[in-house]
């Protein structure tokens, strides 16, 4: 340890050395010392929780050319390299020691070889640059939910983004003392060309679950570099599995019911299925839009938003559909735009923003004009389809007052939603926790869209919308969710929603605003305010309750014809879904709990009994007789 302190004293200024040594944590000191020796930075900056230190990150991002100031105070724009615009799934791997096993569904590599490879890419990667040593918290500080984290990076853009997305953690490290229980992240953007990572062939994101450590090299895109986001989610899922809590890919929001009542919901939705728009419903309040930790406290299931900011896709964000976010994106507050177009007067522009777009400007491809193509002849759009915004949730006018409550919020309901053209009705409540986890969460599918994958309507299995981030065998993950509510007297009710049901002509049966009604009906159900109709797969709303909700909240008339079309029980489609998903488990998940197959069999039996009584398509009015 003396050698570690000696190295730190040699490489750090007196001020930064004092900041680091004030945290009495040998494991953290060793991590920083090793990173310095490995990456060879010209200088090291230790970031505390002070406003001046956080401001240094912002200023450095502009000074180094990673962010460009825009026309509104506090707004900047960052460009990732043309081939560095998304999470690199192929090169995101778990480092597994001999004898370790996660299952064939999870991408992994030999730990010894992987560490040697990524460290070779990190060797002297910070030469001539300043290393940034930052401390953040996952979850509110001083809480049972808190996980302290240290991020080492040479990208001020990454550090600046994390200062927006996460709560400060320097003081939290003081409180944990010498505890080794924290997450570690080391990242270098590598050699740069036009301020972006050059050696994309050496882009690696390697995750060591045993050491709670993530390596990231030769990339700037947030999903590969902002360690506390989806990279930390993988570490947290593994940690939660060992400790008996849950780390989920879920929004958290407050649904506002009668007489000022607020009921909190968490929800898991695959990409492009309405997750963010649900968390931002008009008249409701947002706790978080992406990641939640769930713990049992005093016989209740409580949860927190891991983050305090949003790193959201900006495409189609406009004043009509997303008024709260749009207002923040046009107000003086701290916002980082990424991969949008900078037009005249340093204004940001993006696809679907609801106003006329310029014909020229600067975007991720450099100088841009309408009709510009890349080396393969593909048109380069105004902004990238994965262009983002990064902002603080407290800068939104619908921020929930319990965002930072160290006790979290008590969950009244959990919602699973996917893009489904012909099976699930718009909203349905599961009969109980077990069926909710299995039939709503573990059977979650979503259809691809032509805009993103070129072929529309292909159903993709996505276990609880968390499949991309699981760090434990899939069967164990299902079992953990099933067991989680065992000693909870009144666990949250579980619902499915589907905003993408179509008629035979291909038209959507739901309006974009209708999701507010489905969530408010769920709020009433959680509090026992309305009855429901029983179907083979769960409870659905009665017509009169929905008609009132549509009138009171959307000022629209909800017809019986709409109700029948949306809430008809589709026997064949539900049976086909069970068959598809069961096939996935039998072929891909050898450790599937038997209760999943038993539950599928029971639901299949109920569907066939309903078919014998009512036919293949059952009107909800038939169920009320």
Sign of CA dihedral 544, 549, 552, 556: negative
Q: Which of 273, 303, 333, 425 is catalytic?
A: 273
Q: What is the pLDDT of residue 57?
A: 97
Please state, as a whole number, how many other Cβ atoms lie within 10 Å of the Cβ of residue 558: 19
Q: What is the pLDDT of residue 512?
A: 86
CA distance 149 to 165: 13
Bridge partners (DSSP) of residue 45 are: 132
Kindly give the pairing relationship between strand 192-193 and strand 366-369.
unpaired
Residue with tokens 């406003």: 51
For this structure, is 273 an active site residue? yes
Q: What is the pLDDT of residue 453?
A: 38
Using a cut of 0.85, tell me whether the model's pTM lies above it: yes
CA distance 395 to 376: 41
3-state secondary structure of 244: coil
> Please, are residues 308 and 404 in contact by the beta-carbon 8 Å criterion?
yes
Q: What is the pLDDT of residue 105?
A: 66
- In angstroms, how far is the first alpha carbon of the chain from the final one? 77
CA distances from residue 30 to 6, 21, 95, 114, 426 in whole angstroms, order as listed: 11, 11, 21, 21, 53
Choose among 92, 385, 63: nearest CA to 217: 92
Q: What is the pLDDT of residue 554?
A: 96
**Could you tell me the two tokens for 110?**
């030999």
CA distance 77 to 57: 15
Please state, as a whole number, how many other Cβ atoms lie within 10 Å of the Cβ of residue 533: 18
DSSP assignment of 177-208: TT----EEEEEE--SEETTEE--GGG-EEEEE
Q: What is the pLDDT of residue 451?
A: 40
SS3 breakdown of the chain: % helix, strand, coil, rounded to 5? 35, 25, 40
Please state, as a whole number, how many other Cβ atoms lie within 10 Å of the Cβ of residue 12: 22
Q: What is the pLDDT of residue 564?
A: 97
Q: What is the pLDDT of residue 455?
A: 61
Q: What is the DSSP letter of 249?
A: S
Q: What is the pLDDT of residue 102?
A: 74
pLDDT < 70: residue spans in the chain: 104-105, 449-456, 625
> Please, are residues 484 and 300 in contact by the beta-carbon 8 Å criterion?
no
Q: What is the pLDDT of residue 625?
A: 65
Q: For the chain, which domains are there? A: 2-244 (3.40.449.10), 247-308+402-623 (3.90.228.20), 311-395 (2.170.8.10)
Sign of CA dihedral 501, 504, 508, 514: negative
CA distance 539 to 222: 40
């Amino acid at each position: 340890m003396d050698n570690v302190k000696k190295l730190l004293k040699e490489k750090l200024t007196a001020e930064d050395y004092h900041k680091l040594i004030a945290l009495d944590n040998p494991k953290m000191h060793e991590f920083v010392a090793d990173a310095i020796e490995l990456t060879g930075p010209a200088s090291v900056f230790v970031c505390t929780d002070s406003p001046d230190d956080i401001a240094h990150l912002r200023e450095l991002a502009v000074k180094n050319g990673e962010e460009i100031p825009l026309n509104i105070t506090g707004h900047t724009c960052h460009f990732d390299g043309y081939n560095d615009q998304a999470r690199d799934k192929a090169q995101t791997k778990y480092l597994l020691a001999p004898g370790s096993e996660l299952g064939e569904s999870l991408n992994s590599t030999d730990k010894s070889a992987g560490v040697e490879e990524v460290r070779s890419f990190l060797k002297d990667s910070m030469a001539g640059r300043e290393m940034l040593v930052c401390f953040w918290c996952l979850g509110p500080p001083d809480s049972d939910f808190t996980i302290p984290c240290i991020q080492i990076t040479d990208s001020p853009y990454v550090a600046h983004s994390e200062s927006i997305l996460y709560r400060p953690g320097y003081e939290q490290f003081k409180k944990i003392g010498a505890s080794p229980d924290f997450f570690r992240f080391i990242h270098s953007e590598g050699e740069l060309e036009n301020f972006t990572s050059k050696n994309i062939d050496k882009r690696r994101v390697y995750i060591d679950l045993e050491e709670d450590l993530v390596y990231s090299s030769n990339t700037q895109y947030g999903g590969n570099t902002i360690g506390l986001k989806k990279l930390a989610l993988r570490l947290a899922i593994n940690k939660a599995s060992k400790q008996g809590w849950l780390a989920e890919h879920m929004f958290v929001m407050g649904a506002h019911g009668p007489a000022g009542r607020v009921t909190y919901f968490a929800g898991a939705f695959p990409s492009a299925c309405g997750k963010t728009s649900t968390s931002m419903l008009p008249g409701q309040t947002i706790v978080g839009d992406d990641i939640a930790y769930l713990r049992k406290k005093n016989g209740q299931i409580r949860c927190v938003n891991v983050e305090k900011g949003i790193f959201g896709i900006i495409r189609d964000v406009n004043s009509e559909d997303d008024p709260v976010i749009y207002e923040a994106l046009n107000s003086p507050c701290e916002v980082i735009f990424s991969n949008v177009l900078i037009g005249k007067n340093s204004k940001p522009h993006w696809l679907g923003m609801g106003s006329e777009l310029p014909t020229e400007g600067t975007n991720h491809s450099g100088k841009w004009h309408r009709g510009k193509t890349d080396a393969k002849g593909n048109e380069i759009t105004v902004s990238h389809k994965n262009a983002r915004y990064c902002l603080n949730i407290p800068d939104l006018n619908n921020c929930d007052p319990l965002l930072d409550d160290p006790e979290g919020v008590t969950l009244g309901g959990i919602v699973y939603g996917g893009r489904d053209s012909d099976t699930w009705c718009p909203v349905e409540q599961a009969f109980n926790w077990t069926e909710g986890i299995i039939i709503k969460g573990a059977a979650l599918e979503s259809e691809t869209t032509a805009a993103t994958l070129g072929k529309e309507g292909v159903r993709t299995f996505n276990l609880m919308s968390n499949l991309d981030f699981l760090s434990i065998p899939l069967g164990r993950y299902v079992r953990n969710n099933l067991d989680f509510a065992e000693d909870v007297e009144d666990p949250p009710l579980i619902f499915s929603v589907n905003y993408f049901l179509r008629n035979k002509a291909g038209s959507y049966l739901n309006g974009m605003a209708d999701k507010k009604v489905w969530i408010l009906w769920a709020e009433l159900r959680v509090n026992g305010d309305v009855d429901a109709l029983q179907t083979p797969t769960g409870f659905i709303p009665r017509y009169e309750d929905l008609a009132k909700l549509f009138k009171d909240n959307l000022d629209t008339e909800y017809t019986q014809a709409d109700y029948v079309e949306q809430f008809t029980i589709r026997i064949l489609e539900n049976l086909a879904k069970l068959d598809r998903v069961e096939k996935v488990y039998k072929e891909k998940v050898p450790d599937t709990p038997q209760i999943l197959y038993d539950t599928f069999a029971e639901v299949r039996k109920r569907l066939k009994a309903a078919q014998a009584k009512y036919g293949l398509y059952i009107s909800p009015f038939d169920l009320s007789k």
